[in-house]
Amino acid sequence: MRKKIIFALILINFFITNSCQVNEVIKPNVVWLVIEDQSQYFFPFYGDKTLELPNISQLLDNGILYEGMNSPYPVCAPARSAIITGMYPNAIGTGNQRAYNYYRTERHENEKLLEFPYYSSRIAEQIKPFTQILRENGYYTSNNSKKDYNFKLTKEAWDESSNDASWEKKEGDEPFFSVFNFGVTHESQIWLRDKQELKVNPKNLKVPPFFPNDSITRHSMAVNYSNILEADNQIGYIIQRLKDQNLYDNSYIFFYSDHGGPFPRHKRSIYETGSKVPLIIKFPKRINTKNKSNFDLLNFIDFAPTILSIAGIDIPKVYQGKAFLGPKKNKSKRKYLFTASDRFDEITDKIRAVKSKKYKYIRNYNINIPHAIDNKYRAQMNLMKHLLYLNDNNLLTREQNLWFQTPKSFEEFYNLENDPFELINLINDTKYLDEINNLRNQLDNWIDQINDPINIPEKELVKLLTDNITNQE
């Protein structure tokens, strides 16, 4: 009798998560809707009332809004490597943007500047992409369509990865995992769509204090808001396809962005504007989402174990992320989040950061490089050109000039509750000494735990990460 009771309790625990009461199928369908280059600050469900986004917002009808989701790197390829491997990029050698450029067709100018070619990190065999594990357990996986992970992904990761990839390509009745990327909100679209008709009035926008409140800034912001509206329409099309095929009610749907916004001091920035991202998860209809908001500190490395958990699949012990949903949900909540930045295309600026819910500590290893790195790709944006002009002519306010400051402080410390835009550096305020020392120690411990090669130049690092540094196809 005692054995029967124990067995019954195990079964009950298997089908319950802390966030909702679950009568869970073993292998549910999962869809990811990934909007590129957007922070939380542009969305109505996080407090910005500029837009109404009916298609994205409907996910909240049976979903949860996550307030504490963060990207471990403020740029796409390293962030994507974290998502698919469940590992910190600086733990597996994928932290340098465009280390391996999948899309390269010829030797790039950046390679010449760096004095070594693009390379693919040699990922340990036990670090399988979670999509490969899904396939090994009966899932059909499709990716539409970004393929840039900063390392060469094996063909076993996807059933199909292309601009046409979809769950609709599968031939059997197996469960599916499908990703859709929406590039209309990418950084490049700020200048490529600059002349298109705006869908919001620039005069009605709220400009953050680190930007000049002028017509050029407002126009760029209006372009971004217009792009988000277009993405909402595109997302609506995917949602409707799911509904038409009677798949919507019984699928998990994740809506998120790969890192912060498309603007200067967003993308490539160690600040919250670069790392804090939107996340909505719509649950299957059978799951009752009682709590509509979640404030846990979450990281992209948590995605891989979470998807495996809700699919009822064992999570590799090597994964550094922790499941936050499903029967294998981690019982403890994260107290700290870690963020890093290394090379962005042709410029290297090593930064590491740690934050709690209230405070953030940043360590800048290259103090002679301003946060406003002179990235050639971003220089195509009118807003960036405008900021550079104003800075050169001493026309920026103190708050706006901080991003250009050289040398920058070796250490930064911010009270995120009082200073959400991280404009007041409190590193020398003795009132916060205990908090500063705690976060210093947390960062040092993390660097040691993951064997962060922060002091190894990339040219030397590639010899440790790869079999060779020849051009790889």
CA 407 → CA 190, 271, 364, 403, 411, distances in Å? 29, 17, 10, 11, 11
Confidence of residue 112 (pLDDT cuts 50, 70, 90): confident
Query: Residue 105 has what pLDDT?
Result: 63
Mean pLDDT, residues 72-94: 96
β strands within 270-420, DSSP E: 279-282, 288-289, 293-294, 298-299, 337-344, 347-355, 359-364, 411-415
Specify which residues 339 forms β-bridges with. Answer: 353
| 411, 51 Cβ separation under 8 angstroms | no
Distance CA(57)–CA(232), nearest Å, equals: 9
Q: Which of these, 281, 242, 255, 277, lies nearest to 17 by C-alpha position?
A: 281
Catalytic residue among 65, 76, 402, 461: 76
Does residue 293 sit in helix, strand or coil? strand
Q: Give the torsion sign (CA, 394, 397, 403, 409).
A: positive
pLDDT at 127 over 80: yes
The tokens describing 428, both together, are 């020398």
The tokens describing 162, both together, are 């292309």
SS3 for 81-130 is: HHHHHCCCHHHHCCCCCCCCCCCCCCCCHHHHHHCCCCCCCCCCCCCCCH
Q: Of the given ranges (35-49, 60-74, 143-157, 385-399), which has the lowest mean pLDDT?
A: 143-157
76 tagged catalytic: yes
- Look up residue 276 and give its DSSP letter: B
Mean pLDDT, residues 306-334: 96
Mean pLDDT, residues 328-357: 95
Mean pLDDT, residues 92-99: 90
pLDDT in tens, 200-219: 999 999 999 999 999 999 99
Query: Residue 113 has what pLDDT?
Result: 75
The CATH code that applies to domain 2-336 is: 3.40.720.10
CA atoms within 13 Å, Cβ hemisphere of 360: 26
**Length reported for the chain:** 473
| Helices 382-392, 215-244: inter-axial angle, 10-degree rounding | 150
pLDDT in tens, 3-21: 333 333 333 333 333 334 3
pLDDT at 22 over 70: no
Distance CA(256)–CA(440), nearest Å, equals: 30
Query: Residue 147 has what pLDDT?
Result: 87
Question: Of 87-101, 129-143, 450-464, which one has max mean pLDDT?
Answer: 129-143
| 151, 121 Cβ separation under 8 angstroms | yes
Confidence of residue 25 (pLDDT cuts 50, 70, 90): very low
Mean pLDDT, residues 223-245: 98
List the Cα angle 382/384/390 in 5-degree steps.
100
Mean pLDDT, residues 118-129: 89
The larger pLDDT score, comparing residue 406 to residue 145, is at 406
Confidence of residue 114 (pLDDT cuts 50, 70, 90): confident
pLDDT in tens, 195-205: 999 999 999 99
Question: Of 153-157, 170-174, 286-290, 431-435, which one has max mean pLDDT?
Answer: 431-435
Q: Residues of the chain with pLDDT > 70: what percent? A: 91
Question: What is the overall mean pLDDT for the chain?
Answer: 90
Confidence of residue 26 (pLDDT cuts 50, 70, 90): low
Domain locations in the chain as residue ranges: 2-336, 339-465
Q: What is the pTM of this model?
A: 0.91
Say whether domain 339-465 belongs to CATH 3.30.1120.10: yes
Q: Give the torsion sign (CA, 201, 204, 207, 212).
A: positive
What is the separation of C-alpha 394 from the centre of its chain, rounded to a whole number of angstroms? 34
List the Cα angle 134/24/299 in 5-degree steps.
55
Q: Which of these, 345, 16, 314, 48, lies nearest to 200 by C-alpha position?
A: 48
Does residue 32 sit in helix, strand or coil? strand
Does residue 403 sit in helix, strand or coil? helix
